[in-house]
Amino acid sequence: MEAKGNVTQFILFGLSYNQNIQIFCFFLFLLCYICLILGNLLILISIHCSHLFHQPMYYFLSHLSSMDIYYTSSVTPKLIADLLAEKKTISYGYCMFQVFSMHFFGSIEVFILTAMALDRYFAICKPLHYMVIMSRKKCNLLVLAAWAGGAAHSLPQLSMTLKLPFCGPNEIDHYFCDIFPLLKIACTDTYKTGVLVVLNSGIIVLVIFVILFVSYAVILWTLRTHSAEGRRKALSTCGSHFTVVVLFFIPAIFSYLRPPTTYPEDKVFALFYTIIAPMFNPLIYTLRNTEMKNAMRKVWCQKIWGKGNVKHMG
């Protein structure tokens, strides 16, 4: 992967120039990343080792946890390392990898969140036909469609970025490589490319967010006819889903649905969809979900007590 121009690496400005703030952010984001990895692994193992894996909602949740790990790992380790580095450089190849992986795994996550909303719609609005509609075969097809959608979204983004020539300044005012900051330093007219990025990223994110919002509004309207206990359980589950959607989509809409330029606030909003939302996903889906908490308690108690019993018998 060779650069078009004479630039072989870029210099990242990072989050801040203040050394004390950088040290604080190092410990903060290191803790966030550890919590993110451990939390999502906890969900993955708990679902795969329990009966929940056979339920569509938790099947999708396990895929969402996987995407959270892949997605944030393409950016966060580099950010954490750069916070202690005097000069924050990134090679051209790794920069292009970040552009691709961020959009690839991020868009898969968006489509899986859509599949989860679809699952909740059928579970609440079409309960008698739910198991037929959301069979395992159809769930697999939805996950496969999410991966195909991720490729269809990210490959054109990568292709447009690879065509950009970089022959002058190589300083990126961000903490990772993304298309808008790269457009700013490309030595060519990038207006058409910027418009294509807005259409490919911003419009898609907005349309999916509207679809999700409408689906949850329909679910809330349908809940009027349910029992108090049914409403409480459904609202708890849907509330968790919609919290995740808001944490991810609102910053992403601000970042991509706008004129193709950069703003100082971009870094703060990017933190939400690259670190904060993936970190809070495990907390949101476990603390507000009794079924998930019971499954985790059963799986991990069995593992701990099982080992204890084996040692005792030995």
pLDDT digits (tens, 9 = 90+) for 63-107: 999 999 999 999 999 999 999 888 889 999 999 999 999 999 999
Nearest to 211 by CA among 123, 105, 102, 111: 111
Highest mean pLDDT among 193-207, 218-232, 276-290: 193-207
Residue 305 has pLDDT above 80, yes or no: no
Q: ∠ CA(274), CA(279), CA(281), 5° rounding?
A: 105
What does the pLDDT average to over 171-188?
88
CA-CA distance, 43 to 254, in Å (whole number)? 30
Share the mean pLDDT of the chain.
Answer: 84
What pLDDT shows up at residue 218? Answer: 84
The band of 2, judged by pLDDT with boundaries at 50, 70 and 90, is low
Residue 310 has pLDDT above 50, yes or no: no
Residue 234 has pLDDT above 60, yes or no: yes
- Side-chain-side CA neighbours of 37 within 13 Å: the count stands at 10
CA-CA distance, 237 to 215, in Å (whole number)? 14
- Cα 300 to its chain centre, rounded Å, is 26
The fraction of the chain above a pLDDT of 70, given in percent, is 90
Q: State pLDDT tens for residues 24-54.
A: 999 999 999 999 999 899 889 888 888 888 8
What does the pLDDT average to over 213-237?
76
| Structural domains of the chain, ranges and CATH numbers in brackets | 9-289 (1.20.1070.10)
The band of 8, judged by pLDDT with boundaries at 50, 70 and 90, is confident
Q: Is 11 helix (H, G, I), strand (E, B) or coil?
A: strand
pTM of the full structure: 0.86
Give the tokens for residue 167: 């022959």
The band of 112, judged by pLDDT with boundaries at 50, 70 and 90, is very high
Contact 166, 5 (CB under 8 A): yes
Residue 230 has pLDDT above 70, yes or no: no
What pLDDT shows up at residue 308? Answer: 52
Give the pairing of strands 165-166 and 171-172.
unpaired
Answer positive or negative: Cα dihedral of 27, 33, 200, 168. Answer: positive
Residue 61 has pLDDT above 50, yes or no: yes
Cross-strand pairs, 4: 165
Pick the more confident residue, 295 or 101.
Answer: 101
The band of 314, judged by pLDDT with boundaries at 50, 70 and 90, is very low
CA-CA distance, 254 to 212, in Å (whole number)? 17
Q: State pLDDT tens for residues 126-160.
A: 888 888 889 999 999 999 999 999 999 999 999 99
Give 226's contacts (C-beta < 8 A, 6+ positions apart): 124, 234
